[in-house]
Amino acid sequence: KAGVTQTPRYLIKTRGQQVTLSCSPISGHRSVSWYQQTPGQGLQFLFEYFSETQRNKGNFPGRFSGRQFSNSRSEMNVSTLELGDSALYLCASSLGGTVGYEQYFGPGTRLTVT
Protein backbone atom coordinates (compact mmCIF):
# COMPACT_ATOMS: atom_id res chain seq x y z
CA LYS A 1 0.00 0.00 0.00
CA ALA A 2 1.18 3.50 -0.74
CA GLY A 3 1.85 5.63 2.32
CA VAL A 4 0.51 9.05 3.22
CA THR A 5 1.46 11.64 0.64
CA GLN A 6 1.68 15.38 1.18
CA THR A 7 2.05 18.15 -1.34
CA PRO A 8 3.89 20.34 -1.75
CA ARG A 9 6.94 19.22 0.22
CA TYR A 10 8.38 22.71 0.53
CA LEU A 11 6.75 26.10 0.42
CA ILE A 12 7.96 29.65 0.92
CA LYS A 13 5.36 32.33 1.54
CA THR A 14 5.32 35.96 2.58
CA ARG A 15 3.73 37.24 5.78
CA GLY A 16 0.07 38.05 5.20
CA GLN A 17 -0.43 35.54 2.40
CA GLN A 18 -2.46 32.37 2.67
CA VAL A 19 -1.46 28.81 1.93
CA THR A 20 -3.17 25.48 1.21
CA LEU A 21 -1.53 22.15 1.96
CA SER A 22 -2.76 18.82 0.69
CA CYS A 23 -2.77 15.32 2.15
CA SER A 24 -3.73 11.99 0.60
CA PRO A 25 -4.23 9.28 3.24
CA ILE A 26 -3.45 5.60 2.98
CA SER A 27 -6.04 3.82 0.88
CA GLY A 28 -8.97 2.76 3.06
CA HIS A 29 -8.16 5.20 5.86
CA ARG A 30 -11.00 7.56 6.68
CA SER A 31 -9.42 9.70 9.38
CA VAL A 32 -6.91 12.44 8.65
CA SER A 33 -5.22 14.44 11.38
CA TRP A 34 -2.95 17.46 11.00
CA TYR A 35 -0.05 18.37 13.27
CA GLN A 36 2.37 21.27 13.42
CA GLN A 37 5.97 20.53 14.31
CA THR A 38 8.36 23.27 15.43
CA PRO A 39 11.63 23.15 17.39
CA GLY A 40 10.13 25.22 20.18
CA GLN A 41 6.66 23.71 20.58
CA GLY A 42 7.27 20.20 19.29
CA LEU A 43 4.42 18.27 17.72
CA GLN A 44 1.04 19.88 18.26
CA PHE A 45 -2.34 18.63 17.15
CA LEU A 46 -4.24 20.95 14.82
CA PHE A 47 -7.42 19.07 13.90
CA GLU A 48 -8.85 15.77 12.74
CA TYR A 49 -11.31 14.98 10.01
CA PHE A 50 -13.35 11.83 9.67
CA SER A 51 -15.91 11.25 6.93
CA GLU A 52 -15.67 14.88 5.83
CA THR A 53 -16.46 16.19 9.32
CA GLN A 54 -14.09 17.89 11.73
CA ARG A 55 -14.14 15.60 14.73
CA ASN A 56 -11.51 17.19 16.94
CA LYS A 57 -9.69 20.49 17.11
CA GLY A 58 -6.51 21.64 18.87
CA ASN A 59 -5.69 25.03 20.34
CA PHE A 60 -4.87 26.98 17.22
CA PRO A 61 -6.39 30.25 16.02
CA GLY A 62 -9.15 30.34 13.45
CA ARG A 63 -6.61 31.22 10.74
CA PHE A 64 -5.96 27.49 10.60
CA SER A 65 -8.72 25.56 8.91
CA GLY A 66 -9.17 22.37 7.02
CA ARG A 67 -11.52 20.20 5.10
CA GLN A 68 -11.86 16.64 3.93
CA PHE A 69 -13.26 15.40 0.67
CA SER A 70 -15.40 12.35 -0.05
CA ASN A 71 -12.30 10.39 -1.13
CA SER A 72 -10.76 11.13 2.33
CA ARG A 73 -8.15 13.47 0.90
CA SER A 74 -7.71 16.51 3.11
CA GLU A 75 -6.54 20.05 2.75
CA MET A 76 -5.32 22.47 5.36
CA ASN A 77 -5.45 26.23 4.91
CA VAL A 78 -3.63 28.93 6.82
CA SER A 79 -4.72 32.49 6.18
CA THR A 80 -2.90 35.73 6.97
CA LEU A 81 0.42 33.97 7.51
CA GLU A 82 2.64 35.03 10.38
CA LEU A 83 6.37 34.43 10.82
CA GLY A 84 5.55 32.03 13.66
CA ASP A 85 3.64 29.78 11.28
CA SER A 86 6.94 28.58 9.84
CA ALA A 87 6.93 24.87 10.66
CA LEU A 88 6.74 21.34 9.36
CA TYR A 89 3.08 20.48 8.83
CA LEU A 90 2.39 16.79 9.15
CA CYS A 91 -0.61 14.83 8.10
CA ALA A 92 -1.45 11.47 9.63
CA SER A 93 -4.03 8.96 8.54
CA SER A 94 -5.75 6.15 10.38
CA LEU A 95 -8.67 3.82 9.84
CA GLY A 96 -10.73 5.90 12.24
CA GLY A 97 -14.04 4.88 13.68
CA THR A 98 -13.91 2.83 16.86
CA VAL A 99 -10.88 0.82 15.75
CA GLY A 100 -7.55 1.63 14.17
CA TYR A 101 -5.97 4.13 16.48
CA GLU A 102 -2.66 3.69 14.69
CA GLN A 103 -1.73 6.87 12.93
CA TYR A 104 0.68 6.88 10.02
CA PHE A 105 2.41 10.11 9.15
CA GLY A 106 3.33 11.57 5.81
CA PRO A 107 6.69 13.24 5.11
CA GLY A 108 5.31 16.69 5.88
CA THR A 109 5.24 20.05 4.16
CA ARG A 110 7.98 22.44 5.23
CA LEU A 111 6.45 25.94 5.28
CA THR A 112 8.71 28.95 5.56
CA VAL A 113 7.12 32.36 6.09
CA THR A 114 9.31 35.37 5.32
Least Å from the CB of residue 89 to other proteins: 10
Nearest approach in angstroms of CB 80 to other proteins is 25
Span interacting with other proteins, options 14-22, 44-52, 62-70, 71-79, rule CB under 8 A: 44-52
Q: How distant, in Å, are the alpha carbons of 8, 34, 58, 77, 101 from that of 98? A: 31, 19, 20, 28, 8
Shortest distance, position 86 Cβ to other proteins, whole Å: 16
First to last CA, the chain: 37
Of the residues 14, 42, 62, 70, which one makes contact with other proteins according to CB under 8 A: 42
The helix/strand/coil state of 36 is strand
